[in-house]
Structure 1
């Protein structure tokens, strides 16, 4: 009969020290229905225990460490909720690309310009590039002129974040939307 290796149990590390895991001799006590102040650790644990709550170390680097008398599971839930809100409020940068050829005519230019205006109004960045295919690379100055004209036409809606720059067979310019007037 073959022996199986022992099963590994994954231990989840708690982000906060609670109750007996708090190592400080004195702590600053905060929380609802608690006399706030600096207490001996045993006295602070007794206060938390008398209310059937946990003593949670929320600021371990403070002198003395700050501990809160709270229900630990409820505290963890609120912390997760706060993290979700922060993540939801974080702005995600969207970059929309617009492609030109070195010989793009005026109608196509105006059409792509309208799209770029809409992209900037909705808060997206615009990456416009001229793609040089084959021998069209000899028209670099046409591409640069086209991108400069494009960025000047978008001056009321966005600002140039990166000047026209040739990278391989592409000359690229990046425009960022202007902040709203109210802010």
Structure 2
């Protein structure tokens, strides 16, 4: 057995290695129906694939011996691309959205900010709630903390606090993440 096959890596992660490009002398072969045919030499596996009018595709080089399968390469490549596309659809990268306000915000404006944050959280995005201070307003950090805590309480059914209210220069910041 070769010890090199454990460290073997494909040139391009997207394209599988097929037929004569497979560098292993012995492989574990799976037939087109998904049944194991056992451990064979590469030459015997290639003959079996040619007799079936199909290709020999390297499925996994992590095991010892590596696993190959007899398949129609065109169909195999199509199904792999389709699986990758489906996986990409299901993936949602969580963005950080920001909701800005002042500590002296009016009730209607506060509700608008709550609705914005709610929309962001329902879209699986994180929300950064920022209260900006101007001039001497920085003395009223306790009012800003109370407002952010009120916001967290109003959104507690859909969000959890990732970062509690903290001062960041002339701002007070809190980060909320969607509940799972």
User: Aligning the two structures, in what range does the TM-score lie when normalised by the shorter sequence?
Assistant: 0.7 to 0.9
Equivalent residues in 2 for 1:165-180, closer than 5 Å: 165-179=166-180
Give the distance between the partners of 1:87 and 1:94, measured in 2 at CA. 16
**Residues 13-28 of structure 1 aligned to structure 2 (within 5 Å):** 13=12, 15-28=15-28
Per the TM alignment, residue 107 of structure 1 is displaced from its structure 2 partner at its CA by 3.8
How many Å separate the matches in 1 of 2:118 and 2:89?
26
Residues of 2 paired with 1:78 and 1:162: CA distance? 42
Per the alignment, residue 29 of structure 1 pairs with 29
- Tell me how large the CA RMSD over aligned residues is: 2.3
TM-score by length of 1: 0.79
Name the structure 2 match of 1:144.
145
> After the TM superposition, which residues 121-136 of structure 1 pair with which residues of structure 2 at under 5 Å, given as runs?
121-136=122-137
Taking the TM superposition and a 5 Å limit, the aligned residue runs for 1:26-175 are: 26-33=26-33, 36-175=37-176
Distance in 2 between residues matched to 1:150 and 1:35, nearest whole Å: 59
Give the number of aligned pairs. Answer: 168
Structure 1 residue runs of 5 or longer lacking an equivalent are: 1-11
Question: How high is the TM-score relative to the length of structure 2?
Answer: 0.80
Moved more, 112-121 or 53-62: 112-121
CA distance in 1 between counterparts of 2:154 and 2:142 reads 18
Give the deviation of 1:109 after TM superposition: 2.5
| Range 131-140 or range 60-69, more displaced | 131-140
Distance 1:76 1:105 in 2: 58
Residue-by-residue CA offset, 1:66-91 (whole Å, 9 max, x unaligned): 01111223222221111111111112
For residues 31 and 166 of structure 1, do their structure 2 counterparts lie closer, same or farther at Cα, with a shift above 3 Å needed?
farther
Larger radius of gyration: 1
How far 1:121 moved relative to its partner? 4.1
